[in-house]
Amino acid sequence: MSLHHSDDPHLWNLESELRMFALDGPPVSRRTVIKTGLVGAAGAMLAHSPLARAITPAPAPAPTVNPKAKSVIQIWLWGGPCHIDTFDPKPAAGADYTGPLNGVLSTNVAGIQIGELFPLLAKQADKYSLIRSMTHGSNAHETAAYMVQTGRASGGRDVFPGVGAVVSLFKGYDAGYKGLLPPYIVLTELQGRFSESGFLGPKYKPFATGGDPGQARFVVEGVVAPGISDERQKARRELLHQLNTLERATTRGDARLGAFGQCEQDAYEMILGDAGKVFDLSQEKGDVRERYGSNTFGQSCLMARRLVERGVPYVTINHKGWDTHKQHFQIMRRKLPELDRGVATLLEDLKSRGLLDSTIVWVGGEFGRTPKVLWEPPWNGGRNHFGRVFSTLIAGGGFKGGHVVGSSDARGEEVADRPTHPCDLIASMYELLGIDPEARLPHPEGADVRAIPTVAADVQRGGRLSEIM
Partner 1 sequence: MSSHALHPYHGTPHSTRFPFWWFWPVLIAGAWWMEDTRAAEPAAKKGAIVASNPFERPLPPQPQGAIDNAVFAQLARLGIEPAHVCTDQVFVRRVYLDILGTLPTAAEVRDFLLDRQPGKRAKLIDHLLQRDEFADYWTMKWCDVLRVKAEFPINLWPNAAQAYHRWIHTAVRDNLPYDKFARALLTSNGSNFREGPVNFYRAMQSRTPDGIGRTTALTFMGSRAEKWTEAQRTEMAVFFSRLDYKGTGEWKEEIVFFNPEKPLKAPSGKFVFPDGSTAPLAPERDPREVFADWLIRPGNPHFTRPIANRVWSWFLGRGVVHEPDDLRADNPPTNPALLDALEKEMVASNFDLRRFFRTILNSTTYQFSSIPRSEKPEAEANFAFYPLRRLDAEVLVDALNQISGTTEKYTSPIPEPFTFIPEDQRSIALPDGSITSSFLETFGRPGRDTGIEAERNNRVTAAQRLHLLNSTHVRRKIEQGPKLQALYRARGGNREIIDALYYTILSRAPTDQERQAALTYAKQPGIDSRAAAQDLAWALVNTAEFLFRH
Contact 423, 460 (CB under 8 A): yes
Distance from first CA to last CA of the chain, Å, rounded?
A: 39
Residues 297, 341: contact at Cβ < 8 Å?
A: no
Nearer to partner 1, 157 or 285 (CB): 157
Taking the complex as a whole, how short is the minimal distance between the CB of residue 130 and partner 1, in angstroms? 28
Residue 51 engages partner 1 in binding (rule: CB under 8 A): no
Question: Where in 247-276 is the site for partner 1 (CB under 8 A)?
Answer: 247-252, 254, 256-257, 259-260, 263-264, 266-268, 270-271
Answer yes or no whether residue 280 interacts with partner 1 by CB under 8 A: no
Q: Residue 386: which H helix or E strand, with range?
A: strand 385-386
Question: Which of 159/457 has CB closer to partner 1?
Answer: 159
> Measured from the CB atom, is 103 or 260 closer to partner 1?
260
Pick 346 or 459: Cβ nearer partner 1: 459
CB 57 to partner 1: min, Å = 15
Q: How far is CA 261 from CA 283, 338, 441, in A?
A: 32, 43, 29
Q: Which of 45, 109, 114, 278 binds partner 1 (CB under 8 A)?
A: 45
| Helix spans in 26-128 (H) | 30-36, 40-46, 50-55, 95-98, 119-122
Q: Does 375 bind partner 1 (CB under 8 A)?
A: no
Q: Of 286-325, which residues contact partner 1 (CB under 8 A)?
A: none
The residues, any chain, with a CB within 8 Å of residue 422's CB and separated by 6 or more, are 134, 136, 147, 148, 149, 150, 151
Contact residues for 146 (Cβ-Cβ < 8 A; gap 6+): 152, 154, 159, 160, 194, 195
User: In Å, how far from its chain's centre is CA 173?
Assistant: 16
Phi, psi torsion values for 258, nearest 5 degrees = -60, -45
Binding positions for partner 1, 125-154, rule CB under 8 A: 140-143, 146, 154
Q: Out of 176, 202, 273, 321, name the contact with partner 1 by CB under 8 A.
A: 202
Q: Shortest approach of partner 1 to residue 111 CB, angstroms?
A: 39
Only segment of 59-67, 201-209, 278-286, 402-410 that touches partner 1 (CB under 8 A): 201-209
Stretch near partner 1 under the rule CB under 8 A, chosen from 328-336, 390-398, 439-447, 449-457: 439-447
Taking the least distance from each CB to partner 1, the nearer of 103 and 261 is 261
- 5 lies in the site for partner 1, by CB under 8 A: no
User: With binding defined as CB under 8 A, does residue 225 bind partner 1?
Assistant: yes
Q: Where are the alpha helices (DSSP H) in 272-369?
A: 286-292, 296-309, 328-352
The separation between CA 348 and the C-alpha centre of its own chain, rounded to angstroms, equals: 21
Taking CB under 8 A as the rule, does residue 205 contact partner 1?
yes
Sign of CA dihedral 90, 93, 99, 103: positive
Residue type, position 90, single letter: K
Query: Residue 206: is the preceding peptide bond cis (ω within 30°)?
Result: no
159 binds partner 1 (CB under 8 A): yes
Residues in 84-123 at the binding interface with partner 1, rule: CB under 8 A: none
Q: Quick one: which H or E segment has residue 395? A: strand 390-395
Give the integer Cα–Cα distance in Å for 141 and 83.
16
CB 415 within 8 A of CB 146: no
Identify the residue among 13, 22, 27, 284 touching partner 1 (CB under 8 A): 27
Q: Which of 8, 14, 29, 424 binds partner 1 (CB under 8 A)?
A: 29
Query: Rounded distance, CA 291 to CA 341, Å?
Result: 8
Q: How far is the CB of 255 from partner 1 (least distance, A)?
A: 9
Check binding of 22 to partner 1 (CB under 8 A): no
Kindly state the number of chain residues that form the binding site for partner 1, as judged by CB under 8 A: 79
243 near partner 1 (CB under 8 A): yes
Instruction: Give yes or no for residue 445 binding partner 1 (CB under 8 A).
Output: yes
Q: At closest approach, how far in Å is the CB of 133 from partner 1?
A: 25
Q: How far is the CB of 284 from partner 1 (least distance, A)?
A: 23
Shortest reach from residue 114's CB to partner 1, in Å: 31
Please state the closest distance from residue 59 (CB atom) to partner 1, in A. 19
7, 110, 245, 458: which one contacts partner 1 (CB under 8 A)? 245
Neighbour count for residue 350 (Cβ, 10 Å): 26
Max Cα–Cα distance, the chain, nearest Å: 77
